[in-house]
Amino acid sequence: MTINATARHVELPHVVILGAGFGGLTASRELCGKGVEVTIIDRQNHHVFQPLLYQVATAGLSPADIAAPIRSIVKRHKHTHVRLGEVVSIDVDARHVELAEGDHIPYDYLVVATGARHGYFGREEWGEHAPGLKTIDDATRLRRSILLALEHAETLPPGAARDRQLTFVLVGGGPTGVEMAGAIAELTRHSVSMEFRTIMSRLSRVVLVEAGPRLLASFPEQLSDCARRSLEKLGVEVRLNGRVTEVDAGGVDLENERIDAATVIWSAGVMASPAAQWLGVDGDRAGRVAVEPDLSLRGKPEIFLIGDVASIARADGRPVPGIAPAAKQMGAHVARVIAARVAGRSSPRPFLYRDYGNLATIGRKRAVADFGWSQMRGTLAWLFWCVAHIFFLVGFRNRLIVGANWLWHYFTFDRGARLITGLDRGAVFGGGRSGVAQAGSNLRKILPDAPRPAAQPQMLERSAECGDRPKPA
Protein backbone atom coordinates (compact mmCIF):
# COMPACT_ATOMS: atom_id res chain seq x y z
CA MET A 1 0.00 0.00 0.00
CA THR A 2 1.38 3.42 -0.96
CA ILE A 3 0.10 6.47 0.85
CA ASN A 4 1.16 9.98 1.58
CA ALA A 5 2.34 10.66 5.11
CA THR A 6 -0.07 13.55 5.46
CA ALA A 7 -2.51 15.62 3.47
CA ARG A 8 0.23 17.90 2.14
CA HIS A 9 0.48 20.46 -0.62
CA VAL A 10 1.75 18.56 -3.65
CA GLU A 11 3.46 21.64 -5.08
CA LEU A 12 5.93 21.79 -2.18
CA PRO A 13 8.98 19.48 -2.17
CA HIS A 14 8.58 16.83 0.51
CA VAL A 15 11.42 16.39 3.01
CA VAL A 16 11.23 13.26 5.16
CA ILE A 17 13.34 13.26 8.32
CA LEU A 18 13.95 9.92 10.03
CA GLY A 19 14.54 10.48 13.74
CA ALA A 20 13.62 13.29 16.12
CA GLY A 21 16.91 13.55 17.93
CA PHE A 22 19.14 16.60 18.04
CA GLY A 23 20.04 16.47 14.36
CA GLY A 24 16.56 15.69 13.05
CA LEU A 25 14.81 18.40 15.07
CA THR A 26 17.45 20.97 14.15
CA ALA A 27 16.98 20.20 10.46
CA SER A 28 13.21 20.45 10.85
CA ARG A 29 13.42 23.78 12.63
CA GLU A 30 15.81 25.26 10.04
CA LEU A 31 13.56 24.13 7.17
CA CYS A 32 10.53 25.90 8.63
CA GLY A 33 9.39 28.59 6.19
CA LYS A 34 11.81 27.46 3.47
CA GLY A 35 9.16 26.36 0.95
CA VAL A 36 9.13 22.66 1.78
CA GLU A 37 6.77 20.18 3.41
CA VAL A 38 8.44 18.26 6.25
CA THR A 39 7.46 14.92 7.74
CA ILE A 40 9.29 13.68 10.85
CA ILE A 41 9.14 9.92 11.42
CA ASP A 42 10.14 8.45 14.77
CA ARG A 43 9.21 5.29 16.65
CA GLN A 44 8.82 7.33 19.84
CA ASN A 45 6.46 10.29 20.23
CA HIS A 46 9.00 12.31 22.21
CA HIS A 47 12.40 13.92 21.94
CA VAL A 48 14.88 13.02 24.71
CA PHE A 49 17.74 15.16 25.99
CA GLN A 50 20.17 12.24 26.07
CA PRO A 51 22.99 13.94 28.03
CA LEU A 52 20.77 13.84 31.14
CA LEU A 53 19.45 10.29 30.75
CA TYR A 54 21.90 9.11 33.37
CA GLN A 55 20.15 11.34 35.93
CA VAL A 56 16.86 9.58 35.20
CA ALA A 57 18.62 6.24 35.61
CA THR A 58 20.00 7.31 39.00
CA ALA A 59 16.72 8.82 40.26
CA GLY A 60 17.86 12.43 40.07
CA LEU A 61 15.23 13.45 37.51
CA SER A 62 11.93 12.10 36.22
CA PRO A 63 11.57 11.09 32.54
CA ALA A 64 9.25 14.00 31.75
CA ASP A 65 11.91 16.45 32.99
CA ILE A 66 14.21 15.72 30.04
CA ALA A 67 11.71 14.79 27.32
CA ALA A 68 9.08 16.62 25.30
CA PRO A 69 6.44 15.44 22.80
CA ILE A 70 7.61 15.92 19.22
CA ARG A 71 4.25 17.33 18.17
CA SER A 72 4.47 19.93 20.92
CA ILE A 73 7.93 21.01 19.77
CA VAL A 74 6.88 21.55 16.14
CA LYS A 75 3.29 22.66 16.69
CA ARG A 76 4.00 26.17 15.38
CA HIS A 77 5.66 24.88 12.19
CA LYS A 78 2.79 25.06 9.71
CA HIS A 79 4.21 22.65 7.13
CA THR A 80 5.77 20.15 9.54
CA HIS A 81 4.03 16.87 10.27
CA VAL A 82 4.84 14.02 12.65
CA ARG A 83 4.41 10.33 11.94
CA LEU A 84 4.78 7.67 14.63
CA GLY A 85 6.31 4.61 13.01
CA GLU A 86 9.32 2.35 12.69
CA VAL A 87 11.41 2.29 9.52
CA VAL A 88 12.11 -1.14 8.02
CA SER A 89 13.55 -0.21 4.61
CA ILE A 90 14.27 2.59 2.16
CA ASP A 91 13.72 2.26 -1.59
CA VAL A 92 16.29 4.68 -2.97
CA ASP A 93 15.11 4.20 -6.57
CA ALA A 94 11.39 4.68 -5.94
CA ARG A 95 12.19 7.34 -3.31
CA HIS A 96 10.01 6.12 -0.49
CA VAL A 97 10.42 4.90 3.08
CA GLU A 98 8.66 1.73 4.19
CA LEU A 99 7.33 1.52 7.74
CA ALA A 100 6.66 -1.55 9.84
CA GLU A 101 2.92 -0.93 9.44
CA GLY A 102 3.29 -1.45 5.69
CA ASP A 103 2.90 2.20 4.69
CA HIS A 104 5.20 3.80 2.13
CA ILE A 105 6.15 7.45 2.65
CA PRO A 106 7.38 9.20 -0.52
CA TYR A 107 10.11 11.83 -0.38
CA ASP A 108 11.88 14.36 -2.55
CA TYR A 109 14.65 14.75 0.00
CA LEU A 110 15.48 12.30 2.78
CA VAL A 111 17.40 13.08 5.98
CA VAL A 112 18.49 10.01 7.96
CA ALA A 113 19.09 10.98 11.58
CA THR A 114 18.27 7.74 13.40
CA GLY A 115 21.13 7.86 15.90
CA ALA A 116 22.94 4.95 17.51
CA ARG A 117 22.26 1.85 19.57
CA HIS A 118 24.36 -0.12 22.02
CA GLY A 119 27.40 -1.91 20.62
CA TYR A 120 28.77 -5.02 22.32
CA PHE A 121 31.68 -5.78 19.97
CA GLY A 122 30.04 -8.87 18.54
CA ARG A 123 28.81 -10.20 21.90
CA GLU A 124 25.19 -9.12 21.60
CA GLU A 125 24.13 -11.67 24.23
CA TRP A 126 25.76 -9.44 26.85
CA GLY A 127 22.96 -6.94 26.33
CA GLU A 128 20.58 -9.04 28.41
CA HIS A 129 22.78 -8.69 31.50
CA ALA A 130 24.45 -5.33 30.80
CA PRO A 131 21.89 -2.85 29.42
CA GLY A 132 23.03 0.46 27.99
CA LEU A 133 21.55 3.94 28.15
CA LYS A 134 20.04 5.45 25.01
CA THR A 135 16.31 5.89 25.64
CA ILE A 136 13.84 6.72 28.39
CA ASP A 137 12.97 3.01 28.57
CA ASP A 138 16.66 2.19 29.13
CA ALA A 139 16.87 4.80 31.89
CA THR A 140 13.79 3.60 33.77
CA ARG A 141 14.95 0.00 33.44
CA LEU A 142 18.34 0.88 34.96
CA ARG A 143 16.67 2.90 37.71
CA ARG A 144 14.50 -0.09 38.51
CA SER A 145 17.55 -2.39 38.64
CA ILE A 146 19.54 -0.05 40.89
CA LEU A 147 16.71 0.59 43.34
CA LEU A 148 15.65 -3.07 43.43
CA ALA A 149 19.23 -4.05 44.25
CA LEU A 150 19.14 -1.73 47.27
CA GLU A 151 15.75 -3.06 48.36
CA HIS A 152 16.94 -6.63 47.99
CA ALA A 153 20.13 -5.94 49.96
CA GLU A 154 18.02 -4.53 52.80
CA THR A 155 16.36 -7.94 53.23
CA LEU A 156 19.56 -10.01 53.18
CA PRO A 157 21.92 -10.89 56.05
CA PRO A 158 25.63 -9.95 55.78
CA GLY A 159 27.42 -12.14 53.28
CA ALA A 160 28.23 -12.71 49.63
CA ALA A 161 24.60 -12.43 48.48
CA ARG A 162 24.18 -8.99 50.01
CA ASP A 163 27.59 -7.85 48.75
CA ARG A 164 26.59 -8.83 45.23
CA GLN A 165 23.39 -6.76 45.43
CA LEU A 166 25.41 -3.74 46.59
CA THR A 167 27.98 -4.01 43.80
CA PHE A 168 27.46 -1.92 40.66
CA VAL A 169 29.76 -2.37 37.65
CA LEU A 170 29.97 0.11 34.78
CA VAL A 171 31.77 -0.98 31.62
CA GLY A 172 33.28 1.91 29.68
CA GLY A 173 35.11 5.00 30.90
CA GLY A 174 33.70 7.59 28.51
CA PRO A 175 31.51 10.52 29.61
CA THR A 176 28.44 8.31 30.16
CA GLY A 177 30.34 5.79 32.26
CA VAL A 178 32.06 8.46 34.33
CA GLU A 179 28.84 10.39 34.96
CA MET A 180 26.89 7.24 35.82
CA ALA A 181 29.60 6.03 38.20
CA GLY A 182 29.63 9.33 40.08
CA ALA A 183 25.83 9.49 40.26
CA ILE A 184 25.47 5.90 41.52
CA ALA A 185 28.17 6.49 44.12
CA GLU A 186 26.31 9.54 45.41
CA LEU A 187 22.97 7.72 45.35
CA THR A 188 24.21 4.67 47.26
CA ARG A 189 26.47 6.49 49.70
CA HIS A 190 24.57 9.68 50.52
CA SER A 191 20.97 9.82 49.34
CA VAL A 192 19.89 6.52 50.93
CA SER A 193 22.10 6.58 54.01
CA MET A 194 19.30 7.81 56.29
CA GLU A 195 16.49 5.72 54.82
CA PHE A 196 17.69 2.13 55.01
CA ARG A 197 18.10 0.35 58.32
CA THR A 198 20.33 -2.67 57.70
CA ILE A 199 22.57 -1.52 54.83
CA MET A 200 25.00 1.32 55.31
CA SER A 201 26.50 3.64 52.73
CA ARG A 202 29.97 2.19 53.26
CA LEU A 203 28.75 -1.26 52.16
CA SER A 204 28.03 -0.27 48.55
CA ARG A 205 30.66 -0.80 45.87
CA VAL A 206 30.85 0.98 42.50
CA VAL A 207 33.38 -0.30 39.96
CA LEU A 208 34.19 1.50 36.69
CA VAL A 209 35.99 -0.68 34.12
CA GLU A 210 37.83 0.90 31.20
CA ALA A 211 39.73 -1.13 28.59
CA GLY A 212 42.07 1.76 27.77
CA PRO A 213 44.87 3.31 29.82
CA ARG A 214 42.77 6.29 31.02
CA LEU A 215 39.25 7.59 31.45
CA LEU A 216 37.68 10.15 29.09
CA ALA A 217 40.00 9.35 26.20
CA SER A 218 38.71 12.34 24.17
CA PHE A 219 39.83 14.77 26.92
CA PRO A 220 43.38 15.95 27.65
CA GLU A 221 45.32 13.60 29.90
CA GLN A 222 45.39 15.98 32.88
CA LEU A 223 41.59 16.21 32.86
CA SER A 224 41.34 12.42 32.61
CA ASP A 225 43.54 12.12 35.71
CA CYS A 226 41.41 14.72 37.48
CA ALA A 227 38.25 12.75 36.68
CA ARG A 228 39.81 9.54 37.99
CA ARG A 229 40.87 11.18 41.26
CA SER A 230 37.44 12.74 41.72
CA LEU A 231 35.73 9.37 41.23
CA GLU A 232 38.08 7.71 43.69
CA LYS A 233 37.26 10.38 46.28
CA LEU A 234 33.61 9.37 45.86
CA GLY A 235 34.60 5.77 46.59
CA VAL A 236 34.48 4.49 42.98
CA GLU A 237 36.95 1.72 42.14
CA VAL A 238 38.53 2.50 38.76
CA ARG A 239 39.90 -0.42 36.74
CA LEU A 240 42.04 0.82 33.85
CA ASN A 241 43.34 -1.52 31.14
CA GLY A 242 40.55 -3.87 32.21
CA ARG A 243 39.19 -5.77 29.26
CA VAL A 244 35.86 -7.50 29.88
CA THR A 245 35.87 -11.13 28.73
CA GLU A 246 32.43 -12.25 29.88
CA VAL A 247 29.18 -10.80 31.19
CA ASP A 248 26.53 -13.00 32.78
CA ALA A 249 23.69 -12.81 35.27
CA GLY A 250 26.12 -13.00 38.17
CA GLY A 251 28.53 -10.23 37.17
CA VAL A 252 31.52 -9.69 34.86
CA ASP A 253 34.82 -11.42 34.14
CA LEU A 254 37.91 -9.35 33.46
CA GLU A 255 41.15 -10.84 32.18
CA ASN A 256 42.48 -11.32 35.71
CA GLU A 257 39.49 -10.75 37.96
CA ARG A 258 35.89 -11.79 38.58
CA ILE A 259 33.47 -9.17 39.92
CA ASP A 260 30.15 -10.46 41.24
CA ALA A 261 27.47 -7.80 40.76
CA ALA A 262 23.70 -7.68 40.55
CA THR A 263 23.80 -4.57 38.35
CA VAL A 264 26.04 -4.21 35.28
CA ILE A 265 25.69 -1.17 33.03
CA TRP A 266 27.17 -0.94 29.54
CA SER A 267 28.68 2.31 28.26
CA ALA A 268 31.65 0.98 26.30
CA GLY A 269 30.52 1.29 22.71
CA VAL A 270 27.76 2.19 20.27
CA MET A 271 26.64 1.06 16.84
CA ALA A 272 24.85 3.21 14.31
CA SER A 273 21.23 2.36 13.52
CA PRO A 274 20.71 0.05 10.50
CA ALA A 275 20.86 2.98 8.08
CA ALA A 276 23.50 1.31 5.89
CA GLN A 277 21.32 -1.79 5.60
CA TRP A 278 18.24 0.27 4.72
CA LEU A 279 20.14 2.12 2.00
CA GLY A 280 21.90 -0.96 0.64
CA VAL A 281 25.41 0.45 1.17
CA ASP A 282 28.43 -0.57 3.21
CA GLY A 283 29.07 0.93 6.63
CA ASP A 284 32.22 1.06 8.72
CA ARG A 285 32.85 -1.08 11.81
CA ALA A 286 30.39 1.03 13.81
CA GLY A 287 27.76 0.93 11.05
CA ARG A 288 28.29 4.54 9.95
CA VAL A 289 27.95 5.49 6.29
CA ALA A 290 30.56 7.58 4.48
CA VAL A 291 29.07 10.81 3.13
CA GLU A 292 30.04 13.57 0.74
CA PRO A 293 31.28 16.97 2.00
CA ASP A 294 27.68 18.25 1.93
CA LEU A 295 26.59 15.19 4.02
CA SER A 296 24.74 13.56 1.11
CA LEU A 297 24.99 9.88 0.22
CA ARG A 298 27.46 9.16 -2.55
CA GLY A 299 25.57 8.91 -5.84
CA LYS A 300 22.28 9.96 -4.23
CA PRO A 301 22.33 13.74 -3.71
CA GLU A 302 18.73 13.77 -2.42
CA ILE A 303 19.65 11.58 0.59
CA PHE A 304 21.51 13.00 3.58
CA LEU A 305 22.90 11.31 6.69
CA ILE A 306 23.64 13.17 9.90
CA GLY A 307 24.65 12.46 13.47
CA ASP A 308 25.72 8.99 14.58
CA VAL A 309 24.90 7.39 11.20
CA ALA A 310 27.30 9.63 9.22
CA SER A 311 31.04 9.09 8.81
CA ILE A 312 32.95 12.24 7.88
CA ALA A 313 36.29 13.70 8.86
CA ARG A 314 36.87 17.19 10.21
CA ALA A 315 39.62 19.56 9.06
CA ASP A 316 42.39 17.86 11.06
CA GLY A 317 41.54 14.42 9.71
CA ARG A 318 39.92 13.09 12.87
CA PRO A 319 36.33 11.82 12.59
CA VAL A 320 33.49 14.09 13.62
CA PRO A 321 32.41 12.80 17.06
CA GLY A 322 28.98 11.33 17.67
CA ILE A 323 27.81 13.98 20.13
CA ALA A 324 24.81 16.28 20.28
CA PRO A 325 26.55 19.50 19.10
CA ALA A 326 27.89 17.71 16.02
CA ALA A 327 24.44 16.33 15.17
CA LYS A 328 22.87 19.78 15.53
CA GLN A 329 25.50 21.36 13.28
CA MET A 330 24.92 18.65 10.68
CA GLY A 331 21.16 19.13 10.85
CA ALA A 332 21.50 22.88 10.29
CA HIS A 333 23.91 22.36 7.39
CA VAL A 334 21.65 19.86 5.60
CA ALA A 335 18.70 22.22 6.00
CA ARG A 336 20.71 24.99 4.34
CA VAL A 337 21.68 22.69 1.46
CA ILE A 338 18.06 21.60 0.87
CA ALA A 339 16.75 25.16 1.14
CA ALA A 340 19.35 26.36 -1.40
CA ARG A 341 18.43 23.64 -3.88
CA VAL A 342 14.70 24.32 -3.53
CA ALA A 343 15.30 28.03 -4.09
CA GLY A 344 17.58 27.38 -7.10
CA ARG A 345 20.66 28.79 -5.39
CA SER A 346 24.12 27.28 -5.29
CA SER A 347 24.77 24.96 -2.37
CA PRO A 348 26.61 26.33 0.66
CA ARG A 349 30.21 25.44 1.44
CA PRO A 350 31.05 21.90 2.57
CA PHE A 351 30.20 20.94 6.13
CA LEU A 352 32.71 22.17 8.67
CA TYR A 353 32.48 20.91 12.22
CA ARG A 354 33.14 23.48 14.93
CA ASP A 355 34.34 21.98 18.19
CA TYR A 356 32.96 24.03 21.07
CA GLY A 357 34.42 21.77 23.74
CA ASN A 358 33.73 18.69 25.85
CA LEU A 359 32.06 18.52 29.24
CA ALA A 360 31.73 15.73 31.79
CA THR A 361 30.48 15.86 35.36
CA ILE A 362 31.71 13.62 38.16
CA GLY A 363 29.11 13.99 40.84
CA ARG A 364 28.45 16.84 43.22
CA LYS A 365 30.51 19.99 42.48
CA ARG A 366 32.93 18.05 40.30
CA ALA A 367 33.31 18.32 36.53
CA VAL A 368 35.88 18.75 33.78
CA ALA A 369 35.62 20.94 30.69
CA ASP A 370 37.90 21.13 27.66
CA PHE A 371 37.52 23.99 25.20
CA GLY A 372 40.75 23.38 23.31
CA TRP A 373 42.12 26.80 24.08
CA SER A 374 41.23 26.53 27.78
CA GLN A 375 40.39 23.95 30.44
CA MET A 376 38.30 23.98 33.59
CA ARG A 377 37.85 21.57 36.45
CA GLY A 378 36.17 21.38 39.83
CA THR A 379 33.29 23.58 40.97
CA LEU A 380 33.62 26.19 38.21
CA ALA A 381 33.43 23.49 35.52
CA TRP A 382 30.46 21.94 37.31
CA LEU A 383 28.56 25.25 37.36
CA PHE A 384 29.30 25.74 33.66
CA TRP A 385 28.09 22.18 32.96
CA CYS A 386 24.81 22.87 34.83
CA VAL A 387 24.14 26.13 32.98
CA ALA A 388 24.96 24.64 29.58
CA HIS A 389 22.68 21.63 30.05
CA ILE A 390 19.77 23.71 31.32
CA PHE A 391 20.19 26.12 28.40
CA PHE A 392 20.05 23.38 25.76
CA LEU A 393 17.04 21.58 27.24
CA VAL A 394 13.92 21.75 25.07
CA GLY A 395 11.14 23.82 26.64
CA PHE A 396 11.01 26.46 29.36
CA ARG A 397 9.12 24.11 31.71
CA ASN A 398 11.87 21.49 31.57
CA ARG A 399 14.56 24.10 32.19
CA LEU A 400 12.71 25.44 35.21
CA ILE A 401 12.00 22.00 36.72
CA VAL A 402 15.50 20.63 36.17
CA GLY A 403 17.07 23.76 37.66
CA ALA A 404 14.80 23.57 40.70
CA ASN A 405 15.49 19.85 41.14
CA TRP A 406 19.24 20.37 41.03
CA LEU A 407 19.02 23.22 43.53
CA TRP A 408 16.93 21.09 45.91
CA HIS A 409 19.24 18.11 45.53
CA TYR A 410 22.30 20.28 46.14
CA PHE A 411 21.07 21.37 49.56
CA THR A 412 19.23 18.22 50.68
CA PHE A 413 20.90 15.28 48.85
CA ASP A 414 17.33 14.08 48.26
CA ARG A 415 16.51 12.30 44.98
CA GLY A 416 12.76 12.53 44.66
CA ALA A 417 12.47 10.29 41.57
CA ARG A 418 13.33 7.06 43.42
CA LEU A 419 10.35 5.19 42.01
CA ILE A 420 10.40 1.49 41.12
CA THR A 421 8.03 1.21 38.16
CA GLY A 422 7.29 -1.22 35.38
CA LEU A 423 7.15 -4.36 37.52
CA ASP A 424 4.78 -7.16 36.53
CA ARG A 425 3.74 -8.07 40.03
CA GLY A 426 0.00 -7.45 40.10
CA ALA A 427 -1.87 -4.45 41.39
CA VAL A 428 -1.75 -3.64 45.09
CA PHE A 429 -4.45 -1.30 46.34
CA GLY A 430 -4.49 0.33 49.75
CA GLY A 431 -2.04 0.44 52.61
CA GLY A 432 -3.88 -1.75 55.09
CA ARG A 433 -2.94 -5.21 56.25
CA SER A 434 -4.14 -6.96 53.09
CA GLY A 435 -2.37 -4.48 50.81
CA VAL A 436 0.88 -4.68 52.73
CA ALA A 437 0.71 -8.47 52.84
CA GLN A 438 0.07 -8.63 49.11
CA ALA A 439 2.95 -6.24 48.44
CA GLY A 440 5.28 -8.40 50.53
CA SER A 441 4.15 -11.52 48.70
CA ASN A 442 4.74 -9.87 45.33
CA LEU A 443 8.15 -8.57 46.40
CA ARG A 444 9.20 -12.10 47.35
CA LYS A 445 8.20 -13.25 43.85
CA ILE A 446 10.51 -10.60 42.37
CA LEU A 447 13.28 -11.20 44.91
CA PRO A 448 13.04 -14.95 45.60
CA ASP A 449 16.18 -14.99 47.77
CA ALA A 450 14.77 -12.46 50.20
CA PRO A 451 14.06 -13.87 53.67
CA ARG A 452 10.69 -13.35 55.32
CA PRO A 453 10.23 -10.41 57.72
CA ALA A 454 11.73 -10.64 61.19
CA ALA A 455 9.71 -11.91 64.15
CA GLN A 456 7.14 -9.65 65.75
CA PRO A 457 9.11 -8.92 68.98
CA GLN A 458 11.92 -7.40 66.90
CA MET A 459 9.39 -5.26 65.03
CA LEU A 460 7.99 -4.00 68.35
CA GLU A 461 11.47 -3.19 69.55
CA ARG A 462 12.09 -1.10 66.43
CA SER A 463 8.78 0.73 67.00
CA ALA A 464 9.73 1.48 70.60
CA GLU A 465 13.06 2.95 69.45
CA CYS A 466 11.16 5.31 67.17
CA GLY A 467 8.85 6.39 70.00
CA ASP A 468 5.79 4.42 68.86
CA ARG A 469 4.54 2.22 71.72
CA PRO A 470 2.29 -0.70 70.79
CA LYS A 471 -1.21 -0.24 72.09
CA PRO A 472 -2.67 -2.85 74.47
CA ALA A 473 -5.25 -5.22 73.01
Which residues are tagged catalytic? 179
Are 440 and 453 spatial neighbours (Cβ–Cβ below 8 Å)? yes
**Which residues, in sequence order, are CB contacts of 268 under 8 Å at separation 6+?**
119, 121, 171, 172, 174, 177, 211, 244
What per-residue string of b and e applies to 338-373 under the rule 16 or more CB within 10 Å gives b? bbebbeeeeeeeebebebeebbbbbbbebbbbbeee
Q: How many residues are given for the chain?
A: 473
- Residues forming a β-bridge with 17: 40, 111
Report the first-to-last Cα separation within the chain, whole angstroms. 73
Spatial CA neighbour of 362 closest among 188, 213, 187, 175: 175
Residue 101 is given by DSSP the state: T
Burial class from Cβ neighbours inside 10 Å (0-12, 13-18, 19+) for residue 8 reads middle
Are 142 and 131 spatial neighbours (Cβ–Cβ below 8 Å)? yes
Pairing of strands 116-118, 46-48: unpaired
Spatial CA neighbour of 206 closest among 183, 236, 243, 176: 236
